[in-house]
Chains A and B, each alone.
Chain A
C-alpha cells in the first residue's frame, strides 16, 4: 500500500502540493486526475524520492521513503512524463544500464530485459538506436525501463502524452496486464477517459489539493452530479414547468418544442420513482434516454471551467 498523509510542497510562493491525503491499495490501479499544474508530477516526484516534501508522510509498503530510500526505490518502478532515454544507445544498452542501477546482474538482468522488451513489443528492435524510434516506441521503452526490475509498485506520470491512439491503447493494455499480475499502479493523467477506463479509484486533484476520491460513481455522488434524462414527445414548456414544480429533485436543463433534458438529484428520488409519474402526467412521450454522469462532468463540476496556465 502507498499511504500519503498531509503531504506539502511549495516552490517559492507557489504551493504545488497542499496537504494531500490518499491511499493506493495493494493490487489496484489508482488514478490521480487533474489539469496541468494541479501538482500531480510533484506528488509523484515526492513519492519516488526525487523531491523532498516540506511536510507530510509517504509510506510505501510500510516504509518511509526518506528514511529508507534504497529499499523503497528498489520496489518502485517509475515511468516519468518525459522520455528519459539515451537516444544514442540501443534499447538493450538503455535497459542494461537501468537494470545495473537496480542491482540486476548476469542472467537475472538478461531475463528481465528480455521479458520487459517482450511485454512492450520491442524485442525485434532491441539493437536499433533509440533515436530511430517513433514517439510511441520510445514511450513503450520508457515503460519497459520502469518494469525491468519487476517492481511491486508502479508510478506512471502521464505515460501516454503525445502519442497516437494505437500506441496509447497498447500502453494501457500493458498497464492492465501488469496490474492483473499483482503490481500496484499509481497513474496520473489529465485524460478523463483513460482514468475512467483504467482506474478502480480516482483522486481528482487541482491547485495542489485532492478535491475528491473514489470510484466514478462515488465521485458523481460527491460532486452532486446526477443522471441525465432526455425526453421526446408531445409537450410544451408549460407542461414541463408544472411537472417539475412539485418535484424538487428534478431540474429542467433545456427545453424546446417536443424535447427536454432533466438532471436528477442523486440525493432525491431516483429514476424508478420519477418515470411512472411522468407516464401518468400530461407529458406525452414518444422516446426517452437515460445518461449516467460522466467523469468529465464530475471533473468540470469539481475543478471548474477556468483555463490553467
Chain B
C-alpha cells in the first residue's frame, strides 16, 4: 500500500503543477512540429525541388523542356521558376536548389549538330536536392545527345523548316514525320521486347496511406521525450534525499526498498504517459505507426530503458547538479547518435555501428519496422529483446546502487 501511496502522490504532484507538467510534455511535441514544418513543407509531406531556369535561348527545344515541368506528375516534385540573369543572385542567396542555364543559340546549335552545353549551378548549402537536380539535368543531356545522333537528318530538316522564311507545307511535315516514325520502327528490334520488364503495382489507397514526413522524427523525439521525463522524475529521488523528506518517509511503516520500487514505478509511469502522448500526436499528424500490439510493446520496453537509465545515473551521482549535467549530456548524445534527430538512413556510415550501442537506435529502428507495411511483431523481436534486456539491467543496477546510496545518504 505504501508503494501505491507514493506513486499516487507523485502523479498528483504533476496534476497540481499543470503549467510545469504541460511544459515538460510539450518540449518533444514542439520539436516534432518544428522538424515537420522545416522538412515537410507547407503540404506537410512531399518534398519539392525548387529549380531556377534561365533560358537565354528561348528556342523550340528549351521551351519544350521547360514546359515538360508543367506535367502534373512532374510538378508534384519539381518547382520550376523561369528567371533571367538575376537567377545567379537568387542562387547566391540560397533561394533554390539549382539553376539550369540554357545558353544563347542552344536550339539552333543543337539542331545543327554543334556541341552545346547545359549549365547547372548547385546550391552548396543543400545536400540532397541539388544532386537530384543535377541527375535530372544529366538525363536531359543524355536524351538530347542520343536523339541528335539517331535523328540527325530529321533534325537538319527541322532546322531548315524553322529558319526558312516560309511556313513548312503539310507535305514537308508529314514526310519528315514519316521518316522519323520509320526510323523509330526500325529501332523496335533493338528496343522491344525489353530484356527486363518493369511492373508498377499500386496498393489500394485504404491499405497503405502516404507516410508523413514526421514519421522520420516522431519516434526518436518520443524516445527523447521519455528520457527527459524520466530524468525529471528521478530528480525527485535526490530532492527527497536533500530536503530531508526521505528521512521522514522512512519513519513511516515502509521500507527503503518499497520507497525505491515506488519511485521506479513513478518514473516508468511518467515516461509511458509521455510516450503515449507522442504516439497519439504522431497518429494525429498522419504518422502510420503500424499494428497496435508491436507499437505498445516498443513503447513499454523503451519506457523501461528510459527509466532504468535515469535511475542508474541517479544512483551514480551525489548531487542534483551532477545528475542533471550527466544525464542531459547522455540523452543528447544518445539521441544524436541513435537517430532521434536524423533518419537512420541519412546517418554517416561510421556512426551506424556506434548508434547500435544506444537504446534510442533500437527503439527508432523498431518503430521504422512497424511502420513498414505488413510487418509483424516477430520482425521487431530482436529490438524488443535488446530494449527489455537493457531496461532490466539498468533497473537492477540502479535500484541496488540507489538503495545503498539512499540509506547512506540519510544525514546524521
- Can you list 26 pairs linking A and B with CB atoms under 8 Å apart? A41-B412, A45-B410, A49-B250, A50-B410, A73-B252, A76-B251, A78-B248, A80-B248, A83-B243, A84-B245, A84-B249, A85-B245, A88-B13, A88-B16, A89-B16, A90-B16, A93-B9, A93-B16, A97-B5, A97-B9, A101-B2, A101-B249, A101-B252, A103-B1, A103-B253, A145-B248
Interface size (B, Cβ < 8 Å)? 25
In Å, the complex CA distance between A93 and B244 comes to 18
CA distance A85 to B249 in the complex (A): 10
List chain A residues, Cβ under 8 A from B248.
Answer: 78, 80, 82, 84, 145
Q: Is B351 in the interface zone, CB < 8 Å from A?
A: no
* Measured CA separation A97–B41 after assembly (Å): 50
Interface centre among B8, B9, B16, B252 (most CB of A within 10 A): B252
Contact assessment for A41 and B245 in the assembled complex, using a CB-CB cutoff below 8 Å = no
Distance of A51 Cα from B406 Cα, bound (Å): 11
Query: Is B5 in contact with A101, judged by CB distance below 8 angstroms?
Result: yes
- A83 and B253 alpha carbons, distance in the complex (Å): 20
Contact, CB under 8 Å: A80 / B5: no
Contact check, B247 vs A82: say whether CB atoms are below 8 A apart: yes
Query: Interface of A with B (CB < 8 Å)?
Result: 11, 16, 39, 41-42, 45, 48-51, 69-70, 73-74, 76, 78, 80-86, 88-90, 93, 97-98, 100-103, 129, 145
Given A70-B253, A83-B244; A100-B16 close (CB under 8 Å): no
Q: What is the chain B residue whose CB lies nearest that of A73? A: B253
Q: For B12, give the chain A residue with the smallest CB separation.
A: A93
Interface membership of chain B positions 217-259, coded 1 if the CB is closer than 8 angstroms to chain A and 0 otherwise:
0000000000000000000000000011101111111110000
Residue of B nearest to A82 (CB): B244
**A84 CA / B245 CA spacing, docked (Å):** 4
- Among B12, B16, B249, B253, the one with the most A-chain Cβ atoms within 10 Å of its Cβ is B253
Cα-based distance from A74 to B252 in the complex (angstroms): 7
Cα–Cα distance between A41 and B247 once the two chains are bound (Å): 11
- List B contacts of A51 (CB < 8 A): 410
Closest A residue to B236 by CB, please name it: A86
Q: A84-B249, A89-B12, A89-B16 are in contact. List 16 more A-B contacts (CB 8 A).
A: A16-B412, A41-B412, A45-B410, A48-B251, A50-B410, A69-B255, A73-B252, A84-B243, A84-B244, A88-B16, A90-B16, A97-B8, A98-B252, A102-B252, A102-B253, A145-B248
Q: Are A86 and B9 interface neighbours, CB within 8 A? A: yes
Closest to A49 in B: B251
How far apart are B5's CB and chain A's nearest CB, in angstroms? 4
In Å, the complex CA distance between A48 and B249 comes to 11
Q: How far is the CA of A70 from the CA of B411 in the complex (A)?
A: 22
Expressed in whole angstroms, the Cα–Cα distance for A86 and B244 within the complex equals: 11
Is B13's CB under 8 angstroms from A73's CB?
Answer: no
Docked-complex contact A84 and B247, CB < 8 angstroms: yes
Kindly list chain A residues whose C-beta atoms are within 8 Å of the C-beta of B249. Answer: 84, 101
Task: Specify which of B2, B250, B410 lies most central, judged by the most chain A CB atoms within 10 Å of its CB.
Answer: B250
Nearest B residue to A42, CB-CB: B412
Distance between Cα atoms of A97 and B379 in the complex (Å): 45
Answer whether residue B127 sits at the interface, using C-beta atoms and an 8 A cutoff.
Answer: no
B247 to chain A, nearest CB (A): 6
B233 to chain A, nearest CB (A): 14
Give the distance to chain B from A91, nearest Cβ to Cβ, in Å: 13
B186 within 8 A of A: no
B6, B8, B9, B251 interface centre (most CB from chain A within 10 Å): B251
Tell me, in angstroms, the Cα distance from A50 to B252 when the chains sit together: 9
Instruction: Report the bound CA distance from A153 to B36 in whole Å.
Output: 62
Tell me the smallest distance from the CB of B63 to a CB of chain A, in Å: 70
Contact of B251 among A78, A85, A100 (CB under 8 A): A78
Query: Inside 8 A of B6's CB, which chain A residues have their CB?
Result: 97, 101
At the interface, yes or no: B345 with Cβ under 8 Å from chain A?
Answer: no
Query: What is the distance, in angstroms, from B146's C-beta to the closest C-beta of chain A?
Result: 74
Asked whether B17 is an interface residue with its Cβ less than 8 Å from the other chain, the reply is yes
From A14, which residue of chain B is reached at the shortest CB distance?
B412
User: Which residues from chain B contact A145 at a C-beta distance below 8 Å?
Assistant: 248
Least Cβ distance of B398 to chain A in Å? 22
Partner of B247, one of A50, A86, A101: A50
Residues of chain A lying within 8 A (CB to CB) of residue B13: 86, 88-89
Question: How far is A41 from B2 in the complex, measured between Cα atoms in Å?
Answer: 25
Minimal Cβ-Cβ distance residue in B for A145: B248
Task: Pick the residue among B8, B9, B244, B245 that contacts A81 (CB under 8 A).
Answer: B244
CA distance A90 to B244 in the complex (A): 18
Residue among B1, B9, B13, B254 having the largest count of chain A Cβ atoms under 10 Å? B9
Residue in A closest to B246 when the chains form the complex, CB atoms: A84
Q: Is the CB of B247 within 8 A of A88?
A: no
Q: Which residues of B contact A103 (CB under 8 A)?
A: 1, 253
Assess whether B2 is in contact with A80, with CB atoms less than 8 Å apart: no
B258-289, CB under 8 A of A: which get 1 and which 0?
00000000000000000000000000000000
A73 to B284, CA, bound (A): 51
- B75-109 vs A: 1/0 string, CB under 8 Å? 00000000000000000000000000000000000
A45 touching B247 by the CB < 8 A rule? yes
Residues of B within 8 A of A74 (CB): 253
Residue of A nearest to B412 (CB): A42
Q: Please, how many angstroms separate the alpha-carbon atoms of A69 and B251 in the complex?
A: 9
Residues of B within 8 A of A129 (CB): 16
Residues of A within 8 A of B243 (CB): 82-84
A72 nearest CB across to chain B (Å): 9
Interface residue from B8, B9, B16, B251 paired with A50 (Cβ < 8 Å): B251
Residues of B contacting A76 in the complex (Cβ-Cβ under 8 angstroms): 251
Cα A11 to Cα B408 in complex, Å, equals 10
Determine the chain B residues whose CB is within 8 A of the CB of A98 once the complex forms.
252
Distance to closest chain A CB from B252 (angstroms): 4
Given contacts A11-B412, A102-B252, contact A80 B9 (CB under 8 A): no
Q: Which residues of A contact B245 (CB under 8 A)?
A: 82, 84-86
A-chain residues with CB within 8 Å of residue B5 when the two chains form the complex: 97, 100-101
Instruction: Point out the residues of chain A lying under 8 angstroms from B12, CB to CB.
Output: 89, 93, 97
Q: Which residues on the A side are within 8 Å of B8 (C-beta)?
A: 97, 100
Q: Which residues of B have CB within 8 Å of A86?
A: 9, 13, 245
Q: Which of A42, A45, A74, A76 is packed against the most chain B CB atoms within 10 Å? A: A45
Q: Which of B8, B243, B247 has the most CB of A within 10 A?
A: B247
Bound complex: CA A279 to CA B248 (Å): 61
The answer to whether residues A100 and B250 also contact, given A85-B245, A93-B16 and a CB cut-off of 8 A, is no
Residues of B within 8 A of A73 (CB): 251-253
Proximity bits, B377-412, A CB within 8 Å = 1, else 0: 000000000000000000000000000000000111
